[in-house]
Structure 1
Amino acid sequence: MRVLAIGTSYPKGPDDSTAPFVRSISHGLQDYGIEVHLLLPYHPDLDWPSGDPPVQLHTYPYVRRSWRRLHVWGYAGSLRSDVALRGEALAILPLAAASSLIHLQRLARRLKPALIHAHWLLPNAPLAAIVSRRTGIPLAISLHGSGAFMAERYRVLARAARFALRRASAVTACSRDLASRVEALGASAESVFVIPYGVDTAEFRPASESLRAKAKASLGAGPETFLVLAVGRLVAKKGFEFLIRAMPSLNGGHELPLLIIAGAGDLEQELRQLARSLQVSERVRFMGDTDRQRILELYRAADVLAVPSIHDAAGNVDGLPNVVLEGLASGLPIVASSIAGIPDVIQHEENGLLVPEQHPEALATALRRLASQPDFRQFLGQHGRQVAEESLNWSSITGRYAEVLRRAARGTTRA
């Protein structure tokens, strides 16, 4: 079976961590006999010289290649702090939308796929729905978070989303929360399937104590340092402000705890200033944009993963942060906000600790508990690894995607 997919984000190269789940889904489907062609916006940093076999990548231009500053469509570059389109992205929106529509339709007529698969509700699903209607090819939509938020916020986008959802034979959501939100936007409950993301349990795996000590040393930290890791773009919905606010009341062992924040984004200077104002800047280290290999090293160094996600001021929230799955597979205890898709995979006091969002004291209390109870940390980490191996490995997750996509192609998803 051949599937023509459209997305706006994808790892720009083997070491890039932009939207890794799109690549994992696309690659995993090949193991279930599904040939995937993926249409993406052109980006000057897209570095797959031979494509990304077995996935067949296609790109569409929307501005001149020499206009590097205007290549802001997709690849986590279109939104400012994940709440509004950047000015440049808004300016090129008509060009990007027209080009993607033209190229998707051309590919659909040339490749004759059994199914069109749109990643993200916006902007891709309405464009895919137009091509689906023109060609008669069935449509499936996979939701990844921000598209639903934009549809909830703007009436004109809600209408576009509703058109796409009603055209789709199947809709997948990475969390129960996202599924309920998309049903409110117009998707029929019978066509919505909750499928969480998966994780590569061979790549992300627990570190031995000696390896953890070595990884800590590479960061200039001693083996007894309680190291808290947070990973993600520096945008409001990641909640890093509240994690930094928790730091003044943390202490542990013979050395003060160290917070490592891996990621880049619009709020970096604001977060640095917050750490200085709270007099914890020496214990909060910003790693900036971090490649995949470095991320693996940071997981090895960490004693705990913190995921303080929030609903930001505009109401945006992550669907299911990939870092939660990576932390589980890495055998790390996790302290995370009890919102969105996080409670779908984190069971309180079984494989992590759940806390209210935007609550520095709750974060500090949970982290102090883990700092003082290494046996409990080990218990949570072992159970998290077990969950990742048994139910969140990519092979089983893409098997669920394959089943839904095959049924969508046959038009048999609805009950």
Structure 2
Amino acid sequence: MTTPMIVVVLKGYPRLSETFIAQELLGLEQAGLKLSLISMRRPTDTRRHPVHDEIRAPVLYLPEYLHEEPLRVASAWWKARKLPGYRLAWKAFWNDLPRDLSRNRLRRFGQACVLAAEWPEGGTWLHAHFIHTPAAVARYTALMTGTPFTCSAHAKDIWTSPDWELAGKLADSRWTVTCTQTGHAHLQSLAQDPARVHLSYHGLDLDRFGPFAGERPARDGSDPADPVLIASVGRAVPKKGYDVLLKALAALPADLHWRFEHVGGGTETKKLKALAATLGLEQRITWHGALAQEDVLALYRRADLFALACRITPDGDRDGLPNVIVEASSQRLTVVASDISGVPELLTDGVNGYLTPSEDPAAFAAALEQAIRDPQTRMRFGRAAEARVRGAFDYHQSIRQLKTLFETEWQTHHDR
């Protein structure tokens, strides 16, 4: 049996905020798998991580909005409607539409028509990264073409999708992987066959995030000329809880000397800067915007603490296990974070980090103060967090698991 080519549907590619996906794609290529990438959006980031330049798979960009490429969409629909499975896909679309009466639903079907009509040569398998919109395109395409599909589910895509839609995709996919125990349990509860839902941590490329050989100074916030550096990496969006973090910083005692550096773009940046000004923090904060991976690594190594006050938003959106927490921990950088989603799967409060309830600036401030004033404990927690990452979050383990899942399913499918 020849190695099938996996056609991977992505929401956008490349994206600075989704390094973990690029890392996985490269790992699968290095493991000998053939990939062809399908992006539902063109890139908006002005920079690329080095990992993006190492991926060799070709990229096909679907029309992000159908009205922007009407001739392409019309031509694709004309071809797709002649496919043997078109009626099945059309029926599935019409079953979904009353429960999601939106232009987005029509867009996903149109994008599926384009993918089916412009199918990459040699493609024999479909895999969607994210179980919301990419999996919708993959599912309709799979029905049209008769191509089996599988799925990787993460965080927002799970928790902001209705159960009926998740259940339908879980039923139609050969298998689904997800990256936290909470997400795994939720998807298993919706699956007709829970055994087809697998837990697979993304892990970290520990070659790129090698051990930090330097020694951090024992700063304790007492010297105004040598303040403690608190770092954070994450998009400025509501689920990251940066308003909570800023309020916690404002609540720190006046005798503590610190600086805060943030890395990441996002729609809330202007609002957060205004909040920082209102709280009187603007002179202590540096907003870097998006940075390349090597610059983020340098920040981890300069910093004394890493902070992220994630929350669950009213629409259910949340992080899984933020990859930046894994990255920071790999550099012996002690983390102060909220105890939600997958964070406690890596960090244990009082053992290898500081965890607080979400939406609680006072508790977060207390944890920050404790970490700042006690550099010896802070460093001990950092060493323990690094050991946990290097022992259990090596991404090669995830790549081996994914390769086994693909190859086992291919063999089963081939034998039918």
The TM-score, its normalising length taken from structure 2, stands at: 0.80
1:10-25 map, 5 Å: 10-12=13-15, 17-25=16-24
RMSD: 3.1
Deviation of 1:208 after TM superposition, in Å, equals 4.8
Tell me, in whole angstroms, the C-alpha distance in 1 between the residues paired with 2:273 and 2:192. 42
Measured at CA, do residues 304 and 252 of structure 1 come closer, stay the same or move farther in structure 2, by a change above 3 Å? farther
Deviation of 1:257 after TM superposition, in Å, equals 1.1
Deviation of 1:159 after TM superposition, in Å, equals 3.8
Q: Which moved more, 1:290-299 or 1:53-62?
A: 53-62
Per the alignment, residue 266 of structure 2 pairs with 265
Identity of aligned residues (%): 23
Tell me, in whole angstroms, the C-alpha distance in 1 between the residues paired with 2:299 and 2:380. 20
1:102 matched to 2:91? The reply is no
Measured at CA, do residues 289 and 375 of structure 1 come closer, stay the same or move farther in structure 2, by a change above 3 Å? same
Contact 1:109 1:135 in 2 (8 A): no
Measured at CA, do residues 99 and 291 of structure 1 come closer, stay the same or move farther in structure 2, by a change above 3 Å? farther
Per the alignment, residue 182 of structure 1 pairs with 187
Deviation of 1:312 after TM superposition, in Å, equals 1.4
Tell me, in whole angstroms, the C-alpha distance in 1 between the residues paired with 2:192 and 2:369. 43
Per the alignment, residue 74 of structure 1 pairs with none
Deviation of 1:265 after TM superposition, in Å, equals 1.7
**What is the DSSP-based 3-state SS (H/G/I as helix, E as strand, rest coil) of the residue aligned with 1:181?**
helix
Contact 1:51 1:57 in 2 (8 A): no
Measured at CA, do residues 44 and 290 of structure 1 come closer, stay the same or move farther in structure 2, by a change above 3 Å? closer
Contact 1:175 1:320 in 2 (8 A): yes
Q: Say which of 160, 179, 187 aligns to 1:150.
A: 160
Which stretches in structure 2 are left out of the alignment for 5+ residues? Answer: 70-100
Deviation of 1:334 after TM superposition, in Å, equals 0.9
Contact 1:126 1:161 in 2 (8 A): no
Per the alignment, residue 233 of structure 1 pairs with 235
**What is the DSSP-based 3-state SS (H/G/I as helix, E as strand, rest coil) of the residue aligned with 1:227?**
strand
* Greater Rg by CA: 2
Give aligned pairs, total.
371
Deviation of 1:407 after TM superposition, in Å, equals 2.6
Contact 1:10 1:22 in 2 (8 A): no
**What is the DSSP-based 3-state SS (H/G/I as helix, E as strand, rest coil) of the residue aligned with 2:12?**
coil
Measured at CA, do residues 269 and 53 of structure 1 come closer, stay the same or move farther in structure 2, by a change above 3 Å? closer
Tell me, in whole angstroms, the C-alpha distance in 2 between the residues paired with 1:209 and 1:250. 28
Per the alignment, residue 111 of structure 1 pairs with 122
Per the alignment, residue 134 of structure 2 pairs with 124
Measured at CA, do residues 91 and 51 of structure 1 come closer, stay the same or move farther in structure 2, by a change above 3 Å? farther
Per the alignment, residue 205 of structure 2 pairs with 200
Contact 2:36 2:123 in 1 (8 A): no
1:9-408 map, 5 Å: 9-12=12-15, 17-43=16-42, 53-62=55-64, 93=104, 96-106=107-117, 108=119, 110-113=121-124, 115-152=125-162, 158-186=163-191, 188-209=193-214, 224-251=226-253, 256-408=257-409
Tell me, in whole angstroms, the C-alpha distance in 2 between the residues paired with 1:309 and 1:328. 17
Contact 2:29 2:35 in 1 (8 A): yes
Contact 2:66 2:107 in 1 (8 A): no
Deviation of 1:51 after TM superposition, in Å, equals 7.3
Structure 1 counterpart of 2:63, one-letter code: P
Contact 1:197 1:320 in 2 (8 A): no
Higher relative contact order (CA 8 A, sep 6+): 1
The TM-score, its normalising length taken from structure 1, stands at: 0.80
**What is the DSSP-based 3-state SS (H/G/I as helix, E as strand, rest coil) of the residue aligned with 1:288?**
coil
**What is the DSSP-based 3-state SS (H/G/I as helix, E as strand, rest coil) of the residue aligned with 1:357?**
coil
Structure 2 counterpart of 1:122, one-letter code: H
Deviation of 1:134 after TM superposition, in Å, equals 3.5
| Deviations, residues 297-319 of structure 1 (Å, cap 9, x unaligned) | 21122111112110113221112
Structure 1 counterpart of 2:353, one-letter code: G
Contact 1:250 1:257 in 2 (8 A): no
Contact 1:310 1:357 in 2 (8 A): yes
Contact 2:113 2:141 in 1 (8 A): no
Tell me, in whole angstroms, the C-alpha distance in 2 between the residues paired with 1:314 and 1:130. 26
1:3 matched to 2:6? The reply is yes
Tell me, in whole angstroms, the C-alpha distance in 2 between the residues paired with 1:109 and 1:39. 9
Contact 2:13 2:43 in 1 (8 A): no
Structure 1 counterpart of 2:122, one-letter code: L
Structure 1 counterpart of 2:8, one-letter code: A
